[in-house]
Amino acid sequence: IDVISIRLWFDKTITTRTPANVFSRFEELRGAGGTFFMLDQLQEGNEEALWGGDDVQGSVVACDFYNSGALMSLSDEDLTDILTKVLLPSAVPQFSQATLVDSWVAKYPGTVSWFSPGSYTSRPPLEGAGNILPNVKCAGDWVRMGDREHGAKGLCQERAFVSGLEAANSLMKSTKDQGDIVELAQVLPVREDEAQFKLGVEINKAVMKNVPRFWVR
């Protein structure tokens, strides 16, 4: 599926309830899914790098549109206008008082995998062919990670990143000479789920045990 990635630099620091946020049910999305991340909050202390060494002015926002086929024909200016004049101010009113200093837009047609329900077992394992080809590993949000499974579930950038670290660690261990000491990448676990989410998961499991999964082939 198609993806559009946009980064926005503002002249003011915007305070949001959470640094990671989702757009939903806006006509301007044209059927796409949208997210926005407050990079100045997620990378606090690294603001100078976010501004490329220039003077730090305000918030830096990363926005992504998934399943964005209906938006691909729009110009970069139109896309930034949708964000700065409609979506972001609707989500956080403070954005209406901020001025856009700079922007960057990238379009990626057909770059995100689209899997059908029930296809998990058909996805390749992180270890590839195992001992048959020990120097070949698989990475990406689409791989099965086995005993290295991480809390970043689903098809997402976070899972792709973690799988890359785990694949590199596995490659280092399976190809090193005896006696070699290798420095492995550290993989941080996700924080524990909140109580209400855990309860929802258990209720869903209990219900789905008795519901025929007619939508899974």
55/145 Cα distance (integer angstroms): 42
Give the Cβ contact number of residue 213 at 10 Å. Answer: 9
Residue type for position 106? A
Give the Cβ contact number of residue 117 at 10 Å. Answer: 9
In this predicted structure, the answer to whether residue 156 has a pLDDT above a threshold of 80 is no
In this prediction, residue 16 carries a pLDDT of: 94
In this prediction, residue 101 carries a pLDDT of: 96
Task: Count H helices and E strands in the chain, helices first.
Answer: 6, 5
Q: What mean pLDDT is predicted for residues 209-213? A: 74
Tell me which of 36-45, 56-65, 72-81, 106-115 is least confident: 106-115
In this predicted structure, the answer to whether residue 74 has a pLDDT above a threshold of 70 is yes
In this prediction, residue 213 carries a pLDDT of: 64
Give the DSSP per-residue string, 94-162.
Answer: GGGG--EEEEEEEEETT-S--PPTT-GGGSPBTTTTGGGSTT----STTSB-GGG--S--SSSHHHHHH
16/92 Cα distance (integer angstroms): 7
Q: Is the entire prediction scored with pTM above 0.75?
A: no
Tell me which of 71-80, 94-103, 158-167 is least confident: 158-167
More confident residue, 114 or 26: 26
Q: What mean pLDDT is predicted for residues 156-184? A: 86
* pLDDT range class, residue 214, cuts 50, 70, 90: low
Tell me which of 7-16, 73-82, 86-95, 180-189 is least confident: 180-189
